[in-house]
Amino acid sequence: MISIIALRELRSLFSMPSTWFVLAVLQFIFAWFFLARLDAFLEIQPQLAQLANAPGVTASIAAPLFNVIALLLMMLVPMFTMRLIAEERRNQTLTLLLSSPLSGTQIVLGKFFGLMLFLIALMATTPVMLYTLQLGTPLDHGLLWSNVLGLVLLSACYAALGLYISALTSQPVIAAIGALAVLLGLWLADISSNAPDSPWHQLSPLNHFQNFNFGLLDSGDAAYFVLFSAVFLLLTVKRLNNNRVYG
């Protein structure tokens, strides 16, 4: 049941020209940034060679690239989550789901995993791009895959939050602006608070991504991501069930 909804979600996404356009532009940006970092690395390589413990190619190309993608996703995921429930509500297609033999949890998880599949497909080219470097130099696989894992967990957070805000309204645009406002707010509060022990650092998803970005697999960060996603998915289920109570 969950997979039926997820596949329908993907099919709808890929039947819209705008999805393909966004995908193409993003791939272009990723590739362009990758090449820019590569270029910079090649330029400073002679100086790096004289350092005792110089950063390798993965640390100087892959890590910044993933950081940029994490930031870009923060702005982009709301564009994809906005439609999930708000548009179903506006087009009255939600009744089809509500009158079908499905629980609220199945509907929410179906939509969540559908979007996650899409986001993973969107990010999948990045490791492929980085692995082309292996033609000339050895790569730090650990650092690379910890970044990929972090990025997937991070986008799950964004998707869950976006899904919840989409469930609150019947206007997709409001859902997009709302999700973007919350994500940007968390990020700005994080970077603008100077105290190292400020609670804002703990609240921001992007801050928890930093350890993954350095190649550090901290179970605390992973737990934060899982909890963050689970809380918002649960809230979405609750909101969807309220639909039946309040009409």
Partner 1 sequence: MPITPDITLTARKLTRSFGNQPVIHDISLQLKRGEVLGLLGHNGAGKSTTMQMLTGCLLPDSGTIEICGIDLLRHAAQAKAHIGYLPETPPLYRELSVNDYLIFAARLRGMKSADVPAALALALQRCGLTDKSRKLIGTLSKGYQQRVGIAQAIIHQPAVIVLDEPTVGLDPSQIREIRTLIRELGNQHSVILSTHLLGEVESICDRVEIMQHGKLIYGDTSARMQQYGQVSGFIVSLRNPPVLAALQGIIGVTHVERLSEQQFRVLHSIEQNPSAELLALAAQHGWQLEQLTPLQARLEDVFVKITDEDAASGPARTEEVQP
Q: Least Å distance between CB 88 and partner 1?
A: 8
Q: Least Å distance between CB 54 and partner 1?
A: 51
What is the rounded distance in angstroms from the CA atom of residue 119 to the CA atom of residue 112? 11
Instruction: Decide whether 103 or 202 has the Cβ nearer to partner 1.
Output: 103
Q: Least Å distance between CB 103 and partner 1?
A: 7
For 96, the token pair is: 């089809």
Phi, psi of 9 (to 5 degrees): -60, -45
Instruction: Decide whether 41 or 113 has the Cβ nearer to partner 1.
Output: 113
Angle in degrees, CA 150, 154, 160, rounded to 5: 150
Write out the H or E segment, with its range, that includes residue 231: helix 219-246
What is the rounded distance in angstroms from the CA atom of residue 245 to the CA atom of residue 202? 35
Instruction: Decide whether 53 or 244 has the Cβ nearer to partner 1.
Output: 244
User: Is 20:118 a contact under the CB 8 Å cutoff?
Assistant: no
Which residues contact partner 1 by CB under 8 A?
1, 4-5, 8, 11-12, 15-16, 91-103, 244-247
Instruction: Decide whether 45 or 103 has the Cβ nearer to partner 1.
Output: 103
Q: Least Å distance between CB 87 and partner 1?
A: 10
